[in-house]
Structure 1
Amino acid sequence: MAYQSLRLEYLQIPPVSRAYTTACVLTTAAVLELITPFQLYFNPELIFKHFQIWRLITNFLFFGPVGFNFLFNMIFLYRYCRMLEEGSFRGRTADFVFMFLFGGFLMTSDRMSKSKELLTQAPFLPWVLMGFSLLLGNSIIVDLLGIAVGHIYFFLEDVFPNQPGGIRILKTPSILKAIFDTPDEDPNYNPLPEERPGGFAWGEGQRLGG
C-alpha cells in the first residue's frame, strides 16, 4: 500500500520536474557505486579536447555526496521546480524546458569565459538558498550566478517585451514545442460516442423534429 501511494505521488509530479529530480538522485546514486565526481565536473579541456561531452550535462546533475546539503538541495529543487511547472509554466512544458536550456547555456558560457546549478525567478528564494550555502560553508559563486541568470531570463521574458518598442527576444524553438507541448485540440473534432466523457449515451431518446 505504501509503495502504491509513493508511486502515485511520484507519477503526479510534472514531467520535467520529475525527470530532472530523478536524474539528480540517480547521478548521486551512481557516484556512490559506479563512478567518481571527477568524471562529472565541468572541465572545458576534457570536454572539447577529449570529447567528454557528457560533462556539459552531468555538472548540472550532481549536488555533492549524500548528506544534509544534498537533501536540502533536493527538497528545494523538487518543490520549486514543481511549483514553477504547475504555476507559471502550466501548459507550457516546452517553454519550461527552454528556460532550463537558456539558463544552462548562460552558466556554461560564463564558466567558459572564466577558465556551478539551477536558475530561478522567485524574488527571495535565491537569496535564501545563498544564505544557506554560507551557513553550510559552501561557495556562493553558483548561487550568485544562478541569481544573475534568473534575472536575465526574467528581464528578457517578462519585462523587455512589455516595454514601449520592446520585442520578445526569447522564443522557444518549434522542435521543443513539437516534442513537449500537447497540440491544440481541433475545434471541429467530433469524438465517437465511446470517446466522450461517460461513454455511450445509453437510454437517451431523440427529440422529434431534432
Structure 2
Amino acid sequence: MAYQIFFREYFQTPPLTRAYTTACFLTSLAVHLDILSPYRLYFHPTLIMENLQLWRLITPFFYFGDFSLNYLFSMLFTYRCCRMLEEESFRGRPADFLYLIILGCVIALFFAWFLLLPFLGQSLTTMFVYIWARRNPYVQMGFFGLFVFRAPYLPWVMVALSVLFDGDLETELIGILIGHAYFYFEDVFPYVPGGWRLLATPRIFKLLFDGELENSDYHPPAEERPAGFNLGAQEEQANQQQRNEEN
C-alpha cells in the first residue's frame, strides 16, 4: 500500500531531517487552511525587539510559501540534500549537524536584519545544497534529461530556477554565501599550514546530543576531504571509473 511505503520511508528518514521537513510542511499546511497567518511568521526586527515576539526568530525558516510548483522544488531540495548530509557527512554526529543548522540560522538572521528579508527557509535549503554539492564534487546530476552537470553546479541551477519561478534570489545567494563559508572553514582551512578547526562543535552539544565527549573533534580521513588537498587521487579514481565504463 502507498501509505505504508510513505510511512516506512518517513520513519527511516534521519531525525533532524524528519523534524525540520515535517515542521516546514505543517507550517505551510496551517497557512493553507487559514489556521495560521503568514503575517505571524515572518521575520521583523521591530516586533522582536519591542513586542518580544521571539518566535519570529524561528518561524521564518519553516515557511516556504503556499503549495505551488516552487514550493515543491524547495521542499524536494531541502529533503534530499538535508537527508544526504545527515546520512553521509554527519552520520553518527547529530551534534555537529545541529550545530551547522544553528550556525546557518544565526548568520541568515544577521543578513535578514539589515536586508529586511521576511522568510529565510530558502537560504537554509541552499546552504544544505551547497555543502553537499562541494563534498560530492564528482557526482553527475541531470536536469529533467535536458543537460548533465556535476554536483558543485547544483546551487547555481537552483538560483536559475529561483529566477525562472520568481523566487527570492537574495535568500538563495545568502545560502550560497553561508554554505561556502562553512565549507571553507570546516573542510579547507583546518588542513592548510597553520590552520585549525574554527567551527568545532561546542562540547556541550556533544554531551547533549552525541552522549559522549571522546573524539569530539571531527577530522575526516584524507581521502574524504573535499577541500582539494587529495583531489588527485579522487580524480584518478573518477578517470579509472570512466575508462571502465567506456570499456
Q: TM-score, normalised by structure 2?
A: 0.71
Structure 2: which amino acid aligns with 1:155?
Y
Structure 2: which amino acid aligns with 1:130?
V
Matched residue of 2:72: which SS? helix
Matched residue of 1:54: which SS? helix
What is residue 6 of structure 1 aligned with on the other side?
A: 6
Distance 1:98 1:69, change over 3 A: same
Q: CA deviation at 1:132?
A: 0.5
**Is 2:94–2:210's contact at 8 Å kept on the other side of the alignment?**
yes
Partners of 2:95 and 2:190 in 1: how far apart? 19
- In the TM superposition, what are the counterparts of 1:23-34 in structure 2 within 5 Å? 23-33=23-33, 34=35
Deviations, residues 171-205 of structure 1 (Å, cap 9, x unaligned) = 212232223225489xxxxxxxxxxxxxxxxxxxx
Structure 2: which amino acid aligns with 1:178?
L
Residue 93, structure 1, aligned to residue 122, structure 2? no
**Is 2:95–2:209's contact at 8 Å kept on the other side of the alignment?**
yes
Identity of aligned residues (%): 49
Q: CA deviation at 1:125?
A: 2.0
Partners of 2:194 and 2:59 in 1: how far apart? 40
Partners of 1:160 and 1:30 in 2: how far apart? 43
Partners of 1:83 and 1:48 in 2: how far apart? 37
Q: CA deviation at 1:56?
A: 0.8
Partners of 1:57 and 1:150 in 2: how far apart? 19
Unpaired runs of 5+ residues, structure 2, are 134-151, 215-247
Structure 2: which amino acid aligns with 1:90?
R
Partners of 2:112 and 2:42 in 1: how far apart? 12
What is residue 176 of structure 2 aligned with on the other side?
A: 147
Unpaired runs of 5+ residues, structure 1, are 186-210
What is residue 72 of structure 2 aligned with on the other side?
A: 71
Partners of 1:143 and 1:90 in 2: how far apart? 26
- In the TM superposition, what are the counterparts of 1:1-210 in structure 2 within 5 Å? 1-33=1-33, 34-115=35-116, 116=120, 117-118=123-124, 119=127, 120-121=130-131, 122=133, 123-183=152-212
Partners of 2:185 and 2:12 in 1: how far apart? 31
Structure 1: which amino acid aligns with 2:101?
F
Partners of 1:142 and 1:47 in 2: how far apart? 20
Deviations, residues 78-128 of structure 1 (Å, cap 9, x unaligned) = 111111111111111111111111111111111223453211312222111
Q: Indicate the structure with greater helix content.
A: 2
What is residue 205 of structure 1 aligned with on the other side?
A: none
Partners of 1:181 and 1:5 in 2: how far apart? 30
Partners of 2:67 and 2:159 in 1: how far apart? 20
Matched residue of 1:124: which SS? helix
Q: CA deviation at 1:29?
A: 1.0
Partners of 2:165 and 2:114 in 1: how far apart? 28
Q: TM-score, normalised by structure 1?
A: 0.83
Aligned residue pairs: how many?
Answer: 185
Quote the RMSD (CA, aligned, Å): 1.7
What is residue 199 of structure 1 aligned with on the other side?
A: none
Distance 1:8 1:182, change over 3 A: farther
